[in-house]
Amino acid sequence: MISKATLGRLPIYLKYLRSVNGSVTEISATTLSRGLNLGEVQVRKDLAAVCGSGRPKIGYKTKELIQSIENILSEKEPKEAVIIGAGKLGMALLDYTGFSEYGLRVIKAFDIDPTKCNEDVLPMNELHSYCLMHQIELGILAVKPESAQEAVNEMVKSGIRAIWSFSSQTPEVPQGVIVQYENLALSLAHLHNRMKNEAI
Amino acid sequence: MISKATLGRLPIYLKYLRSVNGSVTEISATTLSRGLNLGEVQVRKDLAAVCGSGRPKIGYKTKELIQSIENILSEKEPKEAVIIGAGKLGMALLDYTGFSEYGLRVIKAFDIDPTKCNEDVLPMNELHSYCLMHQIELGILAVKPESAQEAVNEMVKSGIRAIWSFSSQTPEVPQGVIVQYENLALSLAHLHNRMKNEAI
């Protein structure tokens, strides 16, 4: 599986490769690493994970490399995700524009509170039919802790197989459903810790 | 330096230790790992990073361990942070309650738009005096890409030494200032990638 760190660099490679495509039909990890000012070993590993080992001394066909990266980033067919919970965080995520770089589209939020519902926020009881209709497999959990398990149950029933959770709760899920926790507080705490250590 | 993973488990240890403190004056990594259902090797490493190696066969004095963890989590003296940019994401972070677990308090947001200002959101031109007055060293960057460099310049001038950035831009900072990037899209992309790999 492609590591998170490699995945994070793919949009950078893709942008560069597209800019040279046409003028350069073949490109090596060395050339790419120089062009982007990245470590060669790292670039070599990244490209190997994406597109195999390349031809010795020549490298990769630029077009093939672009296609491989596009496939991984679901460029041609963006993957859609929904948010459960239209509080401040949920709405901020719905508004966040960075997802498209990774072939992802956060298309709707769902909430049990009818006063929050509008064109972008649908009532929770429509989650099931919406997910089936749009074949949604990715869900974002942004509800209050006390509602987390119930929301997760609804998500699973609706066919969601991967949950990105901003909740501090660890809900139970059936086997085959992945929950990935996003602990924003821990990220800031880690930065604080780094700062304390730099000062010593 | 304590790793992010270890840091993430400290609130769990602290809660447990406080619950047994009084009845247990000394505690070993083995006991703690059983009580919390965590791997013993991991717990042993975590405690060593926090409080040294402990006494053979006995472990740690419960009170000392509690104090060490409290110190790292700044329990007694919460560290304050400010947000630059009172858009949806900035307001969601200002509202986010999870920071206190790590001894952090996000106290104010700042914005150049006077219509956004209120009790919790101060005008950007007050950042400098506010940060000096409250000795703020931690700042959260949640502005639009085109305003990132200017906002960072103001943060640095105001004495902020560590910046948690939600911006896709990589602003220039003087030596000694840390910038830690939070790429939310990459987290969701990583989950998507994990899901695709599970399906194979």
Q: What is the pLDDT along chain A (200 residues), one digit of tens a residue?
A: 899 999 999 999 999 999 998 888 999 999 999 999 999 999 999 999 998 888 888 899 999 999 999 999 987 788 999 999 999 999 999 999 899 999 999 999 999 999 999 999 999 999 999 999 999 999 999 999 999 999 999 999 999 999 999 998 889 999 999 999 999 999 999 999 999 887 65
Amino acid in the structure at residue B169 = Q
Fold for domain B79-187? Rossmann fold (3.40.50)
Please give the biggest Cα pair distance in chain A.
62
The yes/no answer on whether domain B4-72 falls in CATH 1.10.10.10 is yes
In this complex, the residue of A73, A185, A198 whose CB is nearest that of residue B178 is A198
| Residue B187 in contact with partner chain A when CB distance is under 8 A | yes
Is the domain A83-187 a CATH 3.40.50.720 member? yes
Q: Among A38, A140, A181, A191, which would you mutate to test the B interface (most chain B Cβ atoms within 10 Å of its Cβ)?
A: A191
Looking at the partner chain, which of B96, B103, B185 has a beta carbon nearest the beta carbon of A184? B96
Burial bucket for residue B163 (CB in 10 Å: 0-12, 13-18, 19+): buried
Distance (Å, rounded) from C-alpha B126 to C-alpha B122? Answer: 7
**Rounded to the nearest 10 degrees, how much is the dihedral formed by the CA atoms of B36, B38, B39, B41?**
-60
Is some CB atom of chain B closer than 8 A to the CB atom of A5?
A: no
- The 10s digit of each residue's pLDDT in B35-60 is 999 999 999 999 999 988 888 888 99
User: What is the C-alpha separation between B195 and A182, in angstroms, rounded?
Assistant: 16
CA–CA dist B61, A69 (Å, integer)? 53
Domain boundaries, chain A: 4-72, 83-187
Residue A89 forms contact with B (CB below 8 Å): yes
Which of B7, B74, B140 has its CB closest to that of A186? B7
